[in-house]
């Protein structure tokens, strides 16, 4: 045991030594950031009773797991745990509890007269007219016109502004300029949030390049090592007033060391008493330093949930910015939004919303606002969606130049979902695989979109997989995951061709909507090409590769297409590739030409898939499977 972050006790756990070598752990699923219960070791009977000791996993190596204990250990851990223990991964309900608290606070505030921002977000007031703020200089002069327009709009919006960023259009790029303008030029205090640690760290990384006065709040175990130097934990330790705190901490460690060596019970008791006092002192001093650091920082960054932590309690900001807002639950957003008087949300409501494992029923009492727009929501309706329905496009600006895809790859998505407004920047509009260094010209590398069609076989190729499907993309429409061996074989063949043309493995990604298909692709690809990434469409949101192979799996005589009808999933799937998209599918099944399925469910747009299939047959390089294998 030693003292770590925030005066917490850190515990290093290892397996008992044999032959002076610490053995590696057997396979386990405990990872950094998990919450675990720490309990007395029981060989045969796992304890049913919840352990009073728990901690957050700080580090995991082959031979050691380090925990930051959540409880105080003034009297030390009981000897039965110190001697030998077991750890059990616990369900993490902190997120849930913070959302509930956030909503309760909203209720309390409403009773006392909600803030203007809350009223606008709840549809009780109209947003104020956007002020004209064209008289300023941009920090980043490389912003394109739609990005500049979005910056002006966000700076002028008095209540709420939505930045709609279709794939690859520089949403984060634009947010960085907005944050710099607000904090540096206008001297505003800005809270910047995202639904995940990665989304927040991405912004910390980009902002830090501009030497900004920022602090990242959050448990260090969950923060990317590359941005740790901006974390509250490190700043509080290295700033001047933090050095005194560090001295107290050292004293605590020394005392802990003495306890470890002491053989006398009485002495140990005395030392534990000293630790108790030191910890009290440490806490008071540390809280003061934390207050100082957060109050002085112009920009504070945290996950939405992190805004519900004790550190962030009662903090107030001029503006709250939420990146990837279309990936966040509305309840999460409220934790952050109640800390500011203006809000800027960025995201793309035409890509996938947050994963809801058990879809909720829409609220029973459906309502409509003064504008006659529906205000009925369920858990998967994001705040971004709801605000658009409530206040319309006047609170939104869309970014229209994308920096990822060849214009052919982008074309269908732009036409169908973004009113044909997306434009490919000239740096990417016509880029092909053959333009990459060391890649030769071939029928694949000179083609932006290829369709490998299995419909020529006239057979259904999908199989139901009864394996336990843990994929995020599991939905009620597809109770059992599906797989398709013919598509696996076609993918392997296509990869072989691309590699022969000179592509490197890390330039290629293989995605599919079904977890069972991921497993089969991994089975045939991973061993020979370990650096090719394989994953679900849902897991690839926000990512890109030079070449993407997309296996759509569904192939049956009933025309069943399951959750491929969800156009937001298809939109994500078709917009991951930069230079080459290879779609592998049974176009007959997917275009609804087989059986009666694929019709018009009210929840999803079956016509979208059909139109995409027709577009692919017309516009792509069409190849039939029997000609390939």
Ligand X SMILES: Nc1ncnc2c1ncn2[C@@H]1O[C@H](COP(=O)(O)OP(=O)(O)OP(=O)(O)O)[C@@H](O)[C@H]1O
Contacts with ligand X by CB under 6 A lie at 142-144, 147, 165, 167-173, 403, 542
Cβ closer to ligand X: 171 or 386? 171
For residue 57, how many other CB atoms are within 10 A of its CB?
21
Q: How far is the CB of 404 from ligand X (least distance, A)?
A: 7
Q: How far is the CB of 418 from ligand X (least distance, A)?
A: 13
Cβ closer to ligand X: 55 or 165? 165
Which residues are CB-neighbours of 332 under 8 A, at least 6 positions away? 95, 99, 102, 195, 304, 305
For residue 448, how many other CB atoms are within 10 A of its CB?
23
Q: How far is the CB of 147 from ligand X (least distance, A)?
A: 6
Q: Please, is 474 exposed, middle or buried when counting C-beta atoms within 10 Å of its C-beta (0-12, 13-18, 19+)? A: buried
Q: How far is the CB of 428 from ligand X (least distance, A)?
A: 9
Q: How far is the CB of 168 from ligand X (least distance, A)?
A: 5
Cβ closer to ligand X: 34 or 324? 324
Q: What is the DSSP string of 185-212?
A: IS---EEEEESSHHHHHHHHHHHHTT--
Q: Go through 2-19 and write b for each residue having 16 or more CB atoms within 10 A of its CB, e for each that does not.
A: ebbbbbbbbbebeeeeee
Q: How far is the CB of 540 from ligand X (least distance, A)?
A: 10
Strands 35-40 and 53-60: antiparallel
Cα 608 to Cα 567: distance, rounded to the nearest angstrom = 7
Q: What is the DSSP string of 121-190?
A: HTTSSPPPPPP----S--S-TT--HHHHHHHHHHHH-SSEEEEE--TTS-HHHHHHHHHHIIIIIS---E
Q: How far is the CB of 356 from ligand X (least distance, A)?
A: 21
Structural contact between residues 390 and 154, judged by C-beta atoms closer than 8 angstroms: no
Cβ closer to ligand X: 279 or 576? 576
Q: How far is the CB of 363 from ligand X (least distance, A)?
A: 30
Q: How far is the CB of 51 from ligand X (least distance, A)?
A: 41
Structural contact between residues 121 and 157, judged by C-beta atoms closer than 8 angstroms: no
Structural contact between residues 230 and 236, judged by C-beta atoms closer than 8 angstroms: no
Cβ closer to ligand X: 323 or 462? 323
Structural contact between residues 336 and 252, judged by C-beta atoms closer than 8 angstroms: no
Q: How far is the CB of 150 from ligand X (least distance, A)?
A: 11
Cβ closer to ligand X: 116 or 210? 210
Residue 465: strand, helix, or coil: strand
Q: How far is the CB of 171 from ligand X (least distance, A)?
A: 3
Cα 515 to Cα 467: distance, rounded to the nearest angstrom = 9
Residue 112: strand, helix, or coil: coil
Cβ closer to ligand X: 87 or 352? 352
Cβ closer to ligand X: 12 or 145? 145
Cβ closer to ligand X: 350 or 584? 350
- Alpha carbon 171 to chain centroid distance? 15
Give Rg (Cα) of the chain. Answer: 27
449, β-bridge pairs = 581
Report CA dihedral (7, 8, 9, 14) to the nearest 10 degrees: -130
Cβ closer to ligand X: 1 or 399? 399
Cα 374 to Cα 390: distance, rounded to the nearest angstrom = 8
- Token pair, residue 301, equals 């960054």
Smallest CA-to-CA distance from 2 within 97, 96, 68, 53 is with 68
Cβ closer to ligand X: 175 or 582? 175
Q: How far is the CB of 79 from ligand X (least distance, A)?
A: 52
Cβ closer to ligand X: 166 or 308? 166
Cβ closer to ligand X: 248 or 398? 398
Residue 356: strand, helix, or coil: coil
Strands 508-512 and 342-347: unpaired
For residue 396, how many other CB atoms are within 10 A of its CB?
19
Cβ closer to ligand X: 171 or 349? 171
Q: How far is the CB of 574 from ligand X (least distance, A)?
A: 13
Q: How far is the CB of 577 from ligand X (least distance, A)?
A: 13
Angle in degrees, CA 113, 114, 118, rounded to 5: 165
* Chain residue whose CB lies nearest ligand X: 170
Distances (CA, A) of 519 to 132, 467, 511: 54, 10, 11
Q: How far is the CB of 324 from ligand X (least distance, A)?
A: 7
Q: What are phi and psi of 621, to 5 degrees?
A: -85, 105
Cβ closer to ligand X: 143 or 304? 143
């Amino acid at each position: 045991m030693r003292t770590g972050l925030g005066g917490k006790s850190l515990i290093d756990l290892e397996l008992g030594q044999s032959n002076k070598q610490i053995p590696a752990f057997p396979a386990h699923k405990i990872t950094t950031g998990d919450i675990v219960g720490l309990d007395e070791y029981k060989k045969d009977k796992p304890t049913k009773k919840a352990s009073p000791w728990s901690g957050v996993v700080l580090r995991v190596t082959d031979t050691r797991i380090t925990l930051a204990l959540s409880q105080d250990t003034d009297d030390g851990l009981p000897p039965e745990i110190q001697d030998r223990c077991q750890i059990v991964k616990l369900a993490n309900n902190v997120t849930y509890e913070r959302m509930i608290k956030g909503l309760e606070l909203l209720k309390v505030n409403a009773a006392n007269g909600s803030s203007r921002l809350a009223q606008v977000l709840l549809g009780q007031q109209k947003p104020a007219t956007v002020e004209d703020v064209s008289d300023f200089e941009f920090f980043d002069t490389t912003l394109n016109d739609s990005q500049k327009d979005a910056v002006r709009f966000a700076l002028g919006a008095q209540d709420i502004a939505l930045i709609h960023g279709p794939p690859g259009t520089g949403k984060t790029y634009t947010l960085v300029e907005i944050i710099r303008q607000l904090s540096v030029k206008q001297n505003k205090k800005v809270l910047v949030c995202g639904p995940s640690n990665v989304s927040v760290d991405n912004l910390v990384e980009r902002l830090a390049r501009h030497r900004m006065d920022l602090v990242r709040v959050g448990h260090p175990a969950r923060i990317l090592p590359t941005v740790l130097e901006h974390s509250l934990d490190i700043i509080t330790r290295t700033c001047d007033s933090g050095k005194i705190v560090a001295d107290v901490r050292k004293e605590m460690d020394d005392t802990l060391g003495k306890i470890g060596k002491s053989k006398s019970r009485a002495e140990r008791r005395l030392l534990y008493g000293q630790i108790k006092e030191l910890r009290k002192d440490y806490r008071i001093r540390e809280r003061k330093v934390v207050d100082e650091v957060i109050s002085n920082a112009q920009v504070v960054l945290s996950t939405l949930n992190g805004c519900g932590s004790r550190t962030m309690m009662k903090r107030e900001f001029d503006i709250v910015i939420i990146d990837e807002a279309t990936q966040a639950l509305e309840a999460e957003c409220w934790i952050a939004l109640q800390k500011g008087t203006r809000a800027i949300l960025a995201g793309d409501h035409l890509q996938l919303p947050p994963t809801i494992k058990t879809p909720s029923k829409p609220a029973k009492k459906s309502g409509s606002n003064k504008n006659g727009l529906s205000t009925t929501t369920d858990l998967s309706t994001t705040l971004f969606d709801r605000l658009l329905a409530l206040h319309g496009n006047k609170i939104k600006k869309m970014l229209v130049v994308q920096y990822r895809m060849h214009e052919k790859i982008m074309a269908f998505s732009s036409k169908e979902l973004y009113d044909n407004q997306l434009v490919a920047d000239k740096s990417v509009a016509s880029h092909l695989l053959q333009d990459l260094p060391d890649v030769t010209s071939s029928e694949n590398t000179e083609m932006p979109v290829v369709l490998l069609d299995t419909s020529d076989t006239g057979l259904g190729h999908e199989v139901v997989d009864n394996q336990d499907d843990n994929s995020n993309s599991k939905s009620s429409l597809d109770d059992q995951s599906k797989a398709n061996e013919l598509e696996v074989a076609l993918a392997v063949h296509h990869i072989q061709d691309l590699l022969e043309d000179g592509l490197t493995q890390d330039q290629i990604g293989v995605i599919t909507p079904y977890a069972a298909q991921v497993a089969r692709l991994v089975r045939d690809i991973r061993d020979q090409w370990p650096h090719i990434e394989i994953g679900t469409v849902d897991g690839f949101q926000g990512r890109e590769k030079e070449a993407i192979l997309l296996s759509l799996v569904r192939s049956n005589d009933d025309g069943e297409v399951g959750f491929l009808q969800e156009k937001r999933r298809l939109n994500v799937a078709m917009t991951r590739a930069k230079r080459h998209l290879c779609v592998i599918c049974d176009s007959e099944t997917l275009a609804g030409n087989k059986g009666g399925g694929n019709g018009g469910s009210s929840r999803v747009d079956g016509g979208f898939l059909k139109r995409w299939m027709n577009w692919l047959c017309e516009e792509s390089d069409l190849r039939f499977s029997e000609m390939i294998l």
